[in-house]
């Protein structure tokens, strides 16, 4: 669990409730020991600055490029995107997902909303999704696949191999199917190594 900033405590609780062995990651030595990573929601520009100053950004870029399974929610999706539209000056991401994301795509905090999403890989029922100053996938590159869209077609969940990103916050509802989907990827990859 990347624990530089944001709502990482909530994710840790969810992952532990699903039986995962979780550590918090703040330094390169910890990055070396993990078999999967969740990047929480928060503020991506701050997470980026902290990741670079704590020296974990390069270590994470290398692990992600090497196939580490990662699940990013909200600001975490921004950190996983290869391209950021409307980032603050000089804002960087770890990259990995062949997408461009637009930050704060729905406007200010007051424009936060909830929606029920069909997510075919998770089956029924639809996922109740909470969007808080959420980003969206503005461009889906050829290597990435959409997992869920809003009614107007806006992509809000995406997958590329063992990388998953969602614009919304499943750790804030009682529906942990995305976390389980991620843990299944971690288990499958660990057993294939
Ligand atoms: N809830 C969130 O993670 C919001 C993301 C935030 N707006 C950002 O740009 O990083």
What are the catalytic residues?
74, 169, 171
8-192 classified as CATH 3.40.50.880? yes
Model confidence over 45-66: pLDDT tens digits? 999 999 999 999 999 999 999 9
**Mean pLDDT, range 80-86, rounded to an integer:** 95
Residue 192: what pLDDT? 84
Q: What is the pLDDT of residues 141-155, one digit of tens each?
A: 999 999 999 999 999
CA distance 160 to 175: 22
Domain ranges of the chain: 8-192
Q: From the CA of 46, how far away is ligand 1's center (Å)?
A: 10
Tell which one of 10, 42, 165 to mutate to probe ligand 1, the residue whose CB is within 8 A of the most ligand atoms: 42
Residue 145 β-bridge partners = 159
* 8 A C-beta contact, residue 12 and residue 23: no
> Which helix or strand (DSSP H or E) is residue 130 part of?
strand 127-131
pTM for the complete prediction? Answer: 0.96
């Amino acid at each position: 669990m990347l624990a530089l900033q944001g709502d990482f405590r909530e994710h840790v609780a969810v992952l532990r409730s699903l039986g995962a062995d979780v550590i918090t990651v703040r330094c390169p030595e910890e990055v070396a020991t993990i078999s999967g990573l969740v990047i929480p929601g928060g503020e991506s520009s701050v997470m980026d600055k902290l990741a670079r100053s704590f020296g974990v950004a390069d270590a994470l870029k290398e692990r992600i490029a090497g196939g580490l399974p990662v699940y990013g929610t909200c600001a975490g999706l921004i950190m996983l995107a290869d391209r950021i539209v409307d980032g603050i000056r000089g804002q960087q991401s770890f990259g990995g997902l062949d997408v461009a994301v637009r930050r704060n795509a729905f406007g200010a905090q007051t424009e936060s909303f909830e929606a029920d999403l069909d997510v075919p890989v998770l089956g029924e029922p639809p996922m109740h999704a909470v969007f808080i100053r959420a980003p969206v996938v503005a461009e889906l590159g050829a290597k990435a696949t959409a997992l869920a869209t809003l009614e107007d077609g806006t992509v809000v969940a995406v997958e590329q191999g063992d990388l998953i990103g969602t614009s919304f916050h499943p750790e804030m509802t009682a529906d942990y199917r995305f976390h389980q989907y991620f843990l299944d990827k971690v288990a499958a990859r660990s057993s294939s190594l």
